[in-house]
Amino acid sequence: MGEIRLVEVGEALLSVTTVEELVADPRAGAIVSFGGNVRDHDHGRSVARLTYEGHPSAQAVLAEVAKEIDARFDVVALAVAHRVGPIAIGEAALVAAVSTAHRGEAFAACQALVDLVKERLPVWKHQVFTDGTDEWVNCA
């Protein structure tokens, strides 16, 4: 079993560097990290601002997701955080990092972690476009 060093759903600014530093370990030869950043365009429309809303269970679900990845892959350490509340263009909504002994496992585990967060984490993204319209993503 690896070490789950951060699982966080909150409003604070996220940094990929922080999760990378958290998973660094003398046993780890490879660190793969992911930053999912808020873009200024979505499907060709210009985004003015964006907010993520989280269900009260989001923190617990993220902890389950982290445990599942740790069980499926040969992880030295992992760290993952999802932001909620208003997020500025260019800032990160999701950051994740995985360290492993060998690089193939780090890529596979980090990608599976991000995919599982997208699938399971009960959070919702609300976009307001520069033309004044808005949408809840995946529910239009």
Partner 1 sequence: MGAEDVEVHLFAAARAAVGESVVHVPAGTLAEVLAALEDGYPAFVAVRPRCSFLVDEVAVHDPGMAVAAGSRLDVLPPFAGG
Binding residues vs partner 1 (CB under 8 A)? 36, 52-53, 55, 57, 82, 93-94, 103, 114, 117-126, 136-139
Interface size with a copy of itself, residues (CB under 8 A): 30
List the single partner that 139 binds among partner 1, a copy of itself, none, CB under 5 to 8 Å by kind: partner 1
Q: In the structure encoding, which two tokens stand for residue 128, read together?
A: 């307001």
SS3 state at 88: coil
CA distance 88 to 135: 17
Per-residue CA distances from 50 to 30, 46, 138 (Å)? 33, 11, 14
Q: In the structure encoding, which two tokens stand for residue 109, read together?
A: 């585990």
Query: Which amino acid, 46?
Result: S
Interface stretch with a copy of itself, choices 1-9, 38-46, 53-61, 124-132 (CB under 8 A): 38-46
Q: In the structure encoding, which two tokens stand for residue 102, read together?
A: 């060998």
Kindly write out the interface string for residues 72-111 of this chain, putting x where it contacts a copy of itself by CB under 8 A and - elsewhere: -----------------xx----------x-xx-xx--xx
Site residues, a copy of itself (CB under 8 A):
16-17, 20, 24, 26-41, 89-90, 101, 103-104, 106-107, 110-111, 114
